Structure 1
Amino acid sequence: MTRIKIEDIINIKSVASPTAIPNSNSVAYYVTKIREQDNDYETHLYMNDGESNHQLTYGNERISSVKFSKDGKYVFFLALADKKQQVFRMRMSGGEREQITHEKDSITGFEVSNDSSRLYYNVSLEVNKIHAEKDEENEEQKDAIVEEKVESKGQQKDKKKDLPEPVVIDRMKYKFDSVGVLKEKYAEVKAIDLDTLDVESYLSADMINYNVKAAGHSFVIFTSDENDNPDFNFSASLFIKEGDNLKEIPTSEGYISNVKISPNENYIVFAEMSREFENATHPKLFVYDLKNDKKIGITDDLDRPVGGMVATDMHQSAEMEGVVWIDDTTFLFVVADYGNVNLYRGTVDGHCEAILEDTHEIYGLSANKDYAFLAISTPTKPGEIYRLDFKTNVLETLTTFNEEFVENRTLVEPESIVFNSKDGTEVHGWIMKPAEFETGKKYPLITNIHGGPHALYGNTFFHEMQVLAASGYGVLYVNPRGSHSYSQAFVDAVRGDYGGGDYEDIMAGVDHAVSNHDWVDEDNLGVTGGSYGGFMTNWIVGHTDRFKAAVTQRSISNWTSFRGVSDIGYYFTDWQIKAEFSDIEKMWHHSPIKYVNQMKTPLLILHSERDFRCPMEQAEQLFIALKYEGVKTRFVRFPEADHNLSRTGKPNLRIKRLEYLTEWFDNLLSQ
């Protein structure tokens, strides 16, 4: 047995996204691994037929959005063709894949009709490109003399392709992390006949962001976020289109996801995240009776969020199908509860119950009438595909891709802890002993803070935590107020109080660890975190000298500038800090950089150059301020990386990030 290493991200495979194959007890799923020689990832489709596992796709590529025809004969998926995502299909009986869409722009999603006759897909088109296409149509109607001139113009256009072009911006939503600066687009829904491959426009593009969500035999369900003020539109409406008839399904103002049609097409189920508490609102599940026009709440009394939202760093290509029907009146869904993600069963009359609860994270779900197919991870297992038998309630392991890795590594099982914060609020978290722990010996402790803040640490495998434990550190990680998987009041409590109760929750966790674990060396404490966790790391070192070393990652240091430079800043600051544009005093009060003259703890700053969520200038400001004050600091910039560096960044940079992180603590915390 050897301790886990930073480089083990290359050895761990992400097994995710189970999809039940119709008319069988087989399941398809993804396996993603790192191609070290190319410094990249590849995702392939596998199948388990109940007895063994088979690889279905090959090559240096990543596929996504796998769906099956209702008879199980064809599998459809997205893959790159000429650098654009297109839909491909492949016979399950064998044979070569076939590209069935040939759009100029990437396809962003698709659904197969229940009778397997049509496929509906979304394609986002640039506004200026549409104008150009219309111009081309007009040019084609001209006579041969004009065509010659058009050809000449076309040649001139080709010469200009390599020249830089300015980007004209008219909206506040003009950039997005991991994408960059956005060109104005609208989404069109098209339908393709799966026999003839003829394509037609199903929902014509007219500056409305259509997204097809589900398809029955004769109708399609889609969302649209049409609004007179798109910069402040954070909602989508749900519609049914059958022929020329259009009907809106009543929903609260907010987001709609996980829309699924019952097999008999009498009901739809969907998750709704209202704006009651803005982005802190619990997603809830509803059933809509199509025949009786009746909306039924499923999780109204649960006081837990539908879905996962667990912070981790090893789930690649994890497409969570949050709700699945198993018969005409029964469906399955997942709920985050006290650090776990568990499996629930619901019925169209409004009943729901937990059917699989454990110390685990369910991060993938599909099912048929006999089995649920689940992707499950635990703190000491990266994740595999499992099958739950509804009759016996037996959970069977179907894949063992990470078995050898687990068997040959010393992995630390976290201990769940519960304690009270300064104001009496109950807080939940975990503490890990160092790998190869020796009784009677003192160890430094590192507190690791999650992002969000409306995410959660959970009972799942977290490579970074295991690396810190393998490096000889105890690790403390808690879910302060603002974290999901607890009550609505708890998740909402952080808004308008950043650095208040949440800070007290984390410090109470440190007090609990020191008081209840005699192996913790209270003179050798470290702290780190990313995004909101980076904000909190900055805040902590500006409000206490208790920590000997700190590492802030993709952090926020200044809310006054954040609101104008982040892709979400102009509304996130309103929602979370509860400070409008003119309320400079409140934004400055909650800004860690305000307290830079109180910062004495050596601080390493890790930040991605393409981070549009917490832009680079947040790190730059903090670094200069610390250097100006004479504080020990270092600034590491990661090129070609965005806000998701630790999760989906280039493999070599993910490794470098952890090397800088552990080296900083190794040099400043004595062991």
Structure 2
Amino acid sequence: MQPEDVFELTGVSDPRVSPDGRTVAYVVWRIDKETNAYPSAIWTRAVDGTGEPRRLTSGEHRDIEPRWSPDGTRLAFGSDRGSKAVQLFVLPTDGGEAVRLTDRDEDVTQAAWSPDGSRLVFASRVRDGAYDEQDDAKRKPRRFTRLRYKYDNIGWTGDRPQHLFTVAADGSEEPKQLTHGDFEDGFPCWSPDGRRIAFTSARHDDWDISVVEDLYVIDADGSADPELLTSSDGACFMPSWSPDGRRIAFALYPAVMDDPKHWQIAVIDVATRERRVLTASLDRTCLPYPALREPIWDGDDLLFAIEDGGNTHLYRVPADGSTPPALEVGGVLIVTGYDAAGGSVVHTATQPTKLSELFAGPTRLTDVGDAFVRDRELIQPERFTAVSDDGTEVDAWILRPAGFQEGERYPAILTIHGGPFTQYGNKFFDEAQVYAGAGYAVVYSNPRGSSGYSEAWGRAIRGPVGGGPGWGSVDYQDLMAVMDEAVKRFDFIDPDRLAVMGGSYGGYMTSWIVGHTDRFRTAISERAVNQWVSMWGSSDIGWDFKGQIGEFLFENLDAYVKMSPHTYATDIHTPLLILHSENDLRCPIEQGEQLFTTLRLLKRQVEFVRFPAESHELTRSGHPVHRVMRFEVVLDWFERTLRKGDGA
């Protein structure tokens, strides 16, 4: 795979089964080089695999989130056709023109049909009146009283909160706003009788300085204030009302400022408020990153996804908790979407050398990525185990270079995932394939602190306050052990030409590593946390890391200084490329600026590359042209400092 191949990527996502279980609607996305965008189309296919796939929308725009009407005769979907924002449309499934239901300044998302098919509920942001002024030089200043006023990849939220609306499915009336106030409301779902809508929000006093999110219900006509269902002792996410109307299933984060914890699947009795957790026995997080969707009712069971040792699998559990969760879809793969209706279960999934495709059980229903796979040499990862200093076993993978020849020695790149509570695993990973395609061996792993394993594994790097060692401790030992084992086990790796790189937490670990060892010839630190003291207030969620560090900055400044890679900048002698996005609100660009400033003043070999108009998500969903440029920058750096030996 070469950098330009980014423009050829495609895949299937968001499968939805028709109420009778016979047909599945899904999204096929692609990348358009000319428009520098991600257009997508909605398709349908018979669940039993008969006939050919049928395209319902043109794919010239971004058509997303197909949702079947209760009688299966219509599909609601979002699209940016004819608008700068995504609007809500309804399309007859037997042919005809789509009816546009909304005309909003902000995206319409999370649409759900009322049980009688007459209305839809959706979420959309509501702008402050100051946005009416188009000239920023004349615009009123923003005034915030809540701490959560911005969010990466979304922008300002304090003056454009997200609220719920309903609209007639035939387009006969304007949308009606249901929720109000300086709150964030989302993930609406209807009660089976159509009288109420459940949703998630934080509406308690000082909601902005806690990480609590609750379930609420509101009358579908908006005639009364929202009613609190849950007890404000964690985070509730993505509710799903049972067919009999008695219970609501949801994803539960069972802690406040005590991170990380495993997400669980829970149900609450609407009448008694009694809550039952169904998934604790798995000891795995039951909300993969990024989140796929709500738990789905399939009869008396619930379907949900978990992360497990580099895989994402689909599980089933009885809603009454009578038996433990059972595997529904497993294997060496990452499930990327799923649905169940009318007795049919479907899912989308990706594997290391296969793009995301649609399946009904073992039957593959699409082949959108076949041409991409067929026309390129994609490398199958080899899994191996490393043993850390204290005897802990760590899962790891290696990709051999494209065109690998026995007897040759190759430079190797250790790449580190973000999070830290995320996982590398068995999916198509464009970054690893591009680096392997350029002739490098690529090593990656799930050190302690990762998700996909026991909760104790994820919590192993909490601190340094409260008894845990903090970041840059056993995770550092695990990563060094992985590199040691790779060099020992795979004799084609040149031990004198090793590189390390990573983004976000992976960028943090890269900066930390080169401040604590000179074993790597070169390094790339991307969108990193380098200075916790400034990250505290400049990031959209910097203060929330008390849940991992153990105390707030003003309670223990020394802990934040000690855990900052910038503190050890004078010990960095490894040539370092710093990559950052100028619109990153998660790890703001000042994090890169600080490390670059110090290293340049120290006259170390350092370069700083800044991408305009990009957020923290550049490598995953940034503008395609910038994704290609980033690959070219990375490969140029490695060509100069790793392959040709221009490193220290």
Give yes or no for TM over 0.5.
yes
What residue is the counterpart of 1:530 in the other structure?
503
Query: Counterparts of 1:188 and 1:628 in 2: how far apart (Å)?
Result: 48
Q: Structure 1 residue 640 and structure 2 residue 617: aligned?
A: no
What residue is the counterpart of 2:245 in the other structure?
265
Task: Give the fraction of aligned pairs with identical amino acids, expressed as a percent.
Answer: 34
1:160, CA displacement in angstroms?
7.4
Cα gap change, 1:625 to 1:115, in 2 (>3 Å): same
What residue is the counterpart of 2:92 in the other structure?
91
Deviations 1:42-65 (A, max 9, x none): 111111123211211125321333
Deviations 1:98-144 (A, max 9, x none): 11134455434332112212212233323547xx9xxxxxxxxxxxx
Query: Counterparts of 2:393 and 2:358 in 1: how far apart (Å)?
Result: 34
Query: Counterparts of 1:237 and 1:215 in 2: how far apart (Å)?
Result: 17
Q: Structure 1 residue 192 and structure 2 residue 167: aligned?
A: yes
Q: Structure 1 residue 346 and structure 2 residue 324: aligned?
A: no
Query: Counterparts of 1:565 and 1:47 in 2: how far apart (Å)?
Result: 45
Deviations 1:476-525 (A, max 9, x none): 10111111110111111122211111111101111111122222211110
Q: Which moved more, 1:286-295 or 1:652-661?
A: 286-295
What residue is the counterpart of 2:146 in the other structure?
171
User: What is the one-letter code of the residue matched to 1:92?
Assistant: T
Q: Structure 1 residue 280 and structure 2 residue 257: aligned?
A: no
Matches within 5 A, 1:135-534: 163-194=138-169, 197-198=172-173, 201=176, 203-216=178-191, 217=193, 218-241=195-218, 248-251=228-231, 253-275=233-255, 278-290=258-270, 294-309=274-289, 320-327=292-299, 329-350=300-321, 351=323, 352-388=325-361, 395-496=362-463, 497-534=470-507
Matches within 5 A, 1:48-127: 48-49=45-46, 50=49, 51-58=51-58, 60-80=60-80, 82-103=83-104, 105-127=106-128
Query: Counterparts of 1:514 and 1:256 in 2: how far apart (Å)?
Result: 44
What residue is the counterpart of 2:11 in the other structure?
14
User: What is the one-letter code of the residue matched to 1:28?
Assistant: A
Query: Counterparts of 1:656 and 1:522 in 2: how far apart (Å)?
Result: 29
Deviations 1:410-462 (A, max 9, x none): 11111112222222222212112112222222211110000111111011000
Contact 1:120-1:212 within 8 A present in 2 as well? no
User: What is the one-letter code of the residue matched to 1:107?
Assistant: V
User: What is the one-letter code of the residue matched to 1:473?
Assistant: Y
1:232, CA displacement in angstroms?
0.7
1:199, CA displacement in angstroms?
5.2
1:579, CA displacement in angstroms?
4.1
Contact 1:227-1:233 within 8 A present in 2 as well? no
Contact 2:196-2:219 within 8 A present in 1 as well? yes
Q: Which moved more, 1:480-489 or 1:196-205?
A: 196-205
RMSD between aligned residues:
2.3
User: What is the one-letter code of the residue matched to 1:9?
Assistant: V
3-state secondary structure, aligned to 1:525: strand
1:344, CA displacement in angstroms?
0.8
User: What is the one-letter code of the residue matched to 1:174?
Assistant: Y
1:36, CA displacement in angstroms?
0.9
Cα gap change, 1:628 to 1:207, in 2 (>3 Å): closer
What residue is the counterpart of 2:467 in the other structure?
none
Contact 1:541-1:601 within 8 A present in 2 as well? yes
Query: Counterparts of 2:163 and 2:156 in 1: how far apart (Å)?
Result: 21
1:84, CA displacement in angstroms?
3.3
Query: Counterparts of 1:38 and 1:159 in 2: how far apart (Å)?
Result: 24
Matches within 5 A, 1:552-563: 552-563=525-536
Query: Counterparts of 1:196 and 1:523 in 2: how far apart (Å)?
Result: 66
Cα gap change, 1:107 to 1:411, in 2 (>3 Å): closer
Q: Which moved more, 1:100-109 or 1:478-487?
A: 100-109
Contact 1:111-1:212 within 8 A present in 2 as well? no
Q: Which moved more, 1:344-353 or 1:197-206?
A: 197-206
Cα gap change, 1:210 to 1:616, in 2 (>3 Å): closer
Query: Counterparts of 2:170 and 2:139 in 1: how far apart (Å)?
Result: 43
Cα gap change, 1:370 to 1:108, in 2 (>3 Å): closer
3-state secondary structure, aligned to 2:637: helix
Query: Counterparts of 1:172 and 1:292 in 2: how far apart (Å)?
Result: 34
3-state secondary structure, aligned to 2:634: helix
Query: Counterparts of 1:354 and 1:38 in 2: how far apart (Å)?
Result: 42
Contact 2:265-2:295 within 8 A present in 1 as well? no
1:398, CA displacement in angstroms?
0.5
Contact 2:18-2:342 within 8 A present in 1 as well? no
3-state secondary structure, aligned to 1:325: strand
Cα gap change, 1:104 to 1:525, in 2 (>3 Å): closer
Query: Counterparts of 1:161 and 1:280 in 2: how far apart (Å)?
Result: 40
What residue is the counterpart of 1:544 in the other structure?
517
What residue is the counterpart of 1:315 in the other structure?
none
1:584, CA displacement in angstroms?
2.3
Greater Cα radius of gyration, structure 1 or 2: 1
Query: Counterparts of 2:137 and 2:20 in 1: how far apart (Å)?
Result: 51
Contact 2:211-2:257 within 8 A present in 1 as well? no
- Provide TM-score, normalisation by structure 1: 0.88
Contact 1:321-1:366 within 8 A present in 2 as well? no
3-state secondary structure, aligned to 1:445: strand
1:277, CA displacement in angstroms?
6.0
Contact 1:410-1:435 within 8 A present in 2 as well? yes
What residue is the counterpart of 1:391 in the other structure?
none
Query: Counterparts of 1:486 and 1:29 in 2: how far apart (Å)?
Result: 31
- Provide TM-score, normalisation by structure 2: 0.91
Q: 1:653 aligns with which of 606, 617, 626?
A: 626
Query: Counterparts of 1:242 and 1:309 in 2: how far apart (Å)?
Result: 32
Query: Counterparts of 1:599 and 1:186 in 2: how far apart (Å)?
Result: 43
Contact 2:121-2:188 within 8 A present in 1 as well? no
Query: Counterparts of 1:294 and 1:172 in 2: how far apart (Å)?
Result: 32
Equivalent pairs, count: 626
3-state secondary structure, aligned to 1:331: strand
Cα gap change, 1:208 to 1:642, in 2 (>3 Å): closer
Q: Which moved more, 1:31-40 or 1:500-509?
A: 31-40
1:247, CA displacement in angstroms?
5.2
Query: Counterparts of 1:592 and 1:261 in 2: how far apart (Å)?
Result: 46
Query: Counterparts of 1:322 and 1:429 in 2: how far apart (Å)?
Result: 30
Cα gap change, 1:408 to 1:199, in 2 (>3 Å): closer
Query: Counterparts of 1:431 and 1:446 in 2: how far apart (Å)?
Result: 10
